[in-house]
Structure 1
């Protein structure tokens, strides 16, 4: 009898432990839409991926589950491009929104969302001022008022410094918040490797263990793998004629990998200078390889022809999910990677004038 009691007690403890597992319960109400499908989504590999779904019942919906750490999720409605962005955590979270103003949703019950709301609120005055200054600058440029343009540039610099100070204050005050980790991850866009490592090393352990801490670490590891002095990772993509072409086939020559896209204004503005440089150095044994971040083949081909880009071009037409751009950690274009004759990375992100200087060093 005693053994039976012990066994039953153990079973009871097992079920009790299961019941105590942290979970979230997400309830919501969408005003202006009574029926339809609602999706719970998250970002994975630069895509918004649906992880759960429910039916609206008189505008109401509900989701339940668990997360290992607070993370940014999204509510999507069928037929709507706008989404509701919020931090989910293992708590009771409530969302109230108007179907025509989803981004203005009111979210309660998530401590991390409350922190992030504070960040957004702190930056809103700077965003509004930036928009005002942009309009004033365009008007001054239209009137060819150079003094006014200089004055606006000065005001914009001061505003940027104030905005950065506000961000620093937020991050310092909320150092242990996962939302703070998310903001730091967003700041790593074009951050230099050394500064990124310094930022990561200063993160509290709970933030390091979060999705955003891991993303920063992954980015550091990637940047190290394609740092100056490292062998350039090989890739194979299709040419406009849909013929596979490998970077490694150019080994033995100085190579410029040029990441660009037809829709990128700065890329198109730089192209004439790149054409001029190519014509000057190609006969000396230098090859260019254009890697497009386009997702529309017609637009890609038209831009090649319109800009007179007479070197080899490749693309997988996956936009920012381009295999090569992700392999090289490209977060903004135009971006260049210069390789020596042995396929080793010797310089990165140089425009045509500085690129020419580095190419000439390799040709000596």
Structure 2
């Protein structure tokens, strides 16, 4: 009998160890009744729903599995906005109010805690920038261009300091799942060399992260159109609807070709 009990306990332990890890979200949303909450992640062109649950007097539970820690959004269906947080395979607790869910609290996610620490690094500079920007706006309204110019320099200095803080975090956290999001935030202001340098600092465990994959694809595009590279050919319709390729305008008597790009909602 004793051997049977030991054997059963061993089997249970093996099954428990073999069980795939997953997340369990337990939430309470004040000010909500029996609406539906939606867990979603941002994709190109919108959001992709991961899960949803009906609220029971403001309470809900969700369970599932994510491949790696990633940024998601929890929203009450029919209400704008929502709470952005890092989900991972752990027990996560969420509390918030239906009318201000974006200010809700998240506990149980180590990646979210790391992200909260990252954001706290900017508390001092954000406060300074807010105060200086108010003075800058007042100076501009009053026509005091000299003061406005000085305040603008102070804002630029603080902005540079914030970029230094981002780079310090990247250097010190090469395997953090928060780091790709920081680089992605900076990516559109970086040239090919700068972006490649930052991506090269990432641990290889982050290669599966979608934002890393997307940035590497963007890096290939940036290198293709870098200064000194031959411009890739493309075809677009002219104002009369006729297709015109870039290369059709090159050669012959053309010594200089000027391309003017502008937003579709603005005139050239």
* TM-score strictly above 0.5: yes
The residue that corresponds to 1:253 in the other structure is 249
- The unaligned stretches of length 5 or more in structure 1 are 1-11, 255-282, 294-299, 310-364
| TM, length-normalised to structure 2 | 0.82
- The correspondence of residues 47-62 of structure 1 with structure 2, limited to 5 A, is 47-62=46-61
**2:141: which partner in 1?**
142
Q: Is the 8 A contact 2:42 2:72 kept in 1?
A: yes
How much does 1:115 deviate? 0.5
Change (3 A) 1:113 1:288: same
Correspondence for 2:41? 42
TM-score normalised to the size of structure 1? Answer: 0.62
| TM-aligned CA deviation for residue 175 of structure 1 | 2.9
- Comparing 195-204 with 206-215, greater Cα deviation is found at 206-215
Contact 1:69/1:211 (<8 A) preserved: no
Q: Which residue of 1 aligns with 2:5?
A: none
Check if 1:32 corresponds to 2:31: yes
Task: Provide closer, same or farther for how the CA distance between residues 198 and 77 of structure 1 changes in structure 2, counting only shifts above 3 A.
Answer: same
Q: Say if 2:209 is the partner of 1:210.
A: yes
Q: CA RMSD in A?
A: 3.0
Does the aligned pair in 2 maintain the 1:185–1:215 contact within 8 Å? no
In structure 2, relative to structure 1, the CA distance for the partners of 1:59 and 1:137 (3 Å cut) is same
Is the CA contact (8 Å cut-off) linking 2:75 and 2:101 kept in structure 1?
A: no
d(CA) in 1 for partners of 2:196, 2:258: 33
Shift in CA distance, 162/291, structure 1 to aligned 2, threshold 3 Å: closer
Residues 227 and 246 of structure 1: CA distance in aligned 2, closer, same or farther (over 3 Å): farther
1:219 maps to: 218
Report the more deviating stretch, 228-237 or 69-78: 228-237
Q: Which moved more, 1:52-61 or 1:228-237?
A: 228-237
User: In the alignment, is the contact (CA less than 8 A) between 2:171 and 2:201 conserved in 1?
Assistant: no
Within-5 A mapping of 1:88-107: 88-107=87-106
Q: How do 1:1-364 residues align onto structure 2 when only pairs under 5 Å count?
A: 16=15, 19-228=18-227, 229-236=229-236, 243=241, 245-248=242-245, 250-253=246-249, 292-293=263-264, 300=265, 303-304=266-267, 309=268
